[in-house]
Structure 1
Amino acid sequence: MVPEIFKTFWSGMAAGEFITDAAEAAGSYRKQGARWLAACGGVRPRRGRNLKGRCLTFAEREEIAIGIAAGHTLRDIAKALNRSPSTISREIARNREPSGRYRARSAHAAAYHRASRPKPSKLATNPPLRETVEKSLTERHSPEQIAGRLRLDFPDDPQMRVSTETIYQSLYQPSRGGLEHTLTRSLRTGRGLRRPSRKAGQRKNRIPDMANIADRPKDVKDRAVPGHWEGDLIVGKRNLSAIGTLVERSTGTVMLVHLPDGYKPEQTAPALTEQLETLPTSLRRTLTWDQGSEMRDWKSVSAATGIDIYFCDPHAPWQRGTNQNTNGILRQYFPKGSDLSVHSKADLEWVSRQLNERPRKRLEFRTPIEEMEQLLL
């Protein structure tokens, strides 16, 4: 593949993007992104030079390939690119395929990998250090504990030092050499694939200036006042489709948000706004959502509908208990692993009506639609 595409994907992962977003930025899709991760053990490959400055770009190599195919001379190609003819001559001689054909994609990849000068892993070139680290890993010591203990056991031997990150990279990236990949089973997680780390607060920053659930009005909790909603998404096969779910805390009334084109922020905000605007103003008091990136544009929803939006703490689904329970019921109609994009808006309205006509024990076996009709009288 073209190195720039690969670099775009890994840059996205390093910035804390989800696999789907990083792969799309590189012009690919989630499954291919997962393959790239698995092939590298979840660790970004060693980077060579960035092929900047005097180095030929991929676009220039494409022009060279086009010029050769058109029968242009090397001097004509060099003049068009404002390069020296000798530069073009060396490029073709170095990077053409064994068949003699020059292709921009393979030439650029060859130049990129030739520019890389990876330094051998310290664990690959220092057998005593490697044996010590391997022994500690089999005893289920963490890489951080191993690195710290080495400084105590060998205070005067700088060759018997290794960083925590070097141990992780040697475990998860077999191409670096040093440690057996099977030793990952000795780690606390036991994962065979390293998960990209996210900087502290990075997830929160996906939703600018969000209001925390702790700031929500106190009267929301007792369910006495109608108009307070909880919301979330149920996601379909391969995370490619979704349906928005809204539940009113007082009556248990359910509304489903149709998201036929996906659930990115620019798709979720207008669909959610349209759904909320079907409600009377008196029933648009608050909405509580989790910290999903689909709600990045929550301010536009709030401004258009007049509803106050609050966000749960990370990994705290019980703070939207009514919504969580409802999502479990909805899986009877929308099973996990199914494609949710096949359902029309009419389908969603039928399902929400089914739920709203179910008798509820906490409503003394009245239905949510009966409770809501009483409120609207």
Structure 2
Amino acid sequence: MAEVPPLPRYSIVFLSGPADAGTRSMLPIAQELNRRDHRVTYVTTQEFAGRDVTCGVDVLVHASCAAAVPSGGPGRCAGPQDPVLVEDTLDCAESIHAAFADDVPDLVLYEDSARITARLLTCRWKRPAAEVFPSFPGDFPAADGAPGSDSPAPAGDCVSGLPAGVRERLFSFVATAANAGLSPDDFCTRPEPLSIALLPKEFQTDGYSFDGRVAFVGPCIPERRMDERWLPPESGLPVVFFALDPELLLESGPEFLRRCVDAFAGKPLHVVMSAGGHADTVREAAAPLSNVEVHEHAPRSVVLRCASAFICHADLNSVMESLYFNTPLVAVPTGERERAVADRMVELGLGVRLTPGAAEPRALVDAAAALVEDRETGRRVREFQRRARRAGGTRRAADEIERYLEWIYQP
């Protein structure tokens, strides 16, 4: 008689924005919880569905949801005032709700760009949630009551400016939560009982002030896939991993990458360039060179294990992954969050920062070459690597989520 497989311990749905950085951070946690016999459903777009399936978790494919980043932290109004954005978010929430009509999840785990959709679903389902911060936890109530505030936004602030038809649709979606004292205003966020911060507490400027609701677990590194193969150069030259998106810089397109290839020509460095959709064009420029190789998507974790410098945008995921593998950074931030991460990185002495306007090919080459020779920066990066790994990573994140579930559901 065939054995009946054990029932999953808990059902957990993951929500994140359709972006590579969020997916790289969230999938390792989903895999670990799946490995622990929880039923994990990862909500994603078609672009990322294939990658998620190979990780062994259940996948729910939907059209791209509005990845609206709330304007305030917990306790602040997160409801977008754009009616079209609200309706797009409702479309997404309704489709996810319909997919779970017969089996409501026990927990919604969401990355902050999917916060509005997640809050709508938790209101409708009357289920708990936990938030994952892929960047600094913002405006969170501290252990001593500062700097954040636990007070919700004033009633009606998040919905009062919306057209009547949109307000009615919003009220209709969360109407079943009314008996629990909830309303559409509850999609303005408040601190969850558990939040997962994907950085060590030492990287957070005021990390000491956060209470136990925030678990600083450090970087959660994706597991290496079988198709991720790369060999270090036989030349023995220091490896520089180059992963700048030229479309985010002042000079966009393959011409910028070709100029970077020319700038690295003949230097005592081996450059691994991740060029995305420009790979074929840029590869032609690099063909005569022995010290530059061009990939559409280089296996980041594999290359960083051997790299002596990483040239990238300063999203926290890239910075944490680089530090996890003991690699100093040349960071070119292009947004407010990235600038905050780059500033903290420089403050801790873990690399250098260039503005997009200053990130000319020659400046990038000089910065990378200097980092390769900078022993003091290398020492600080090695020390921070130990702190990042001691934070616990994926396993600790899963431990914290399991403890939270047991606290909620166990008598």
Q: Same fold (TM over 0.5)?
A: no
TM-score normalised by length of structure 1: 0.31
Higher relative contact order (CA closer than 8 Å, sequence separation 6+)? 2
Structure whose CA Rg is larger: 1
TM-score normalised by length of structure 2: 0.29
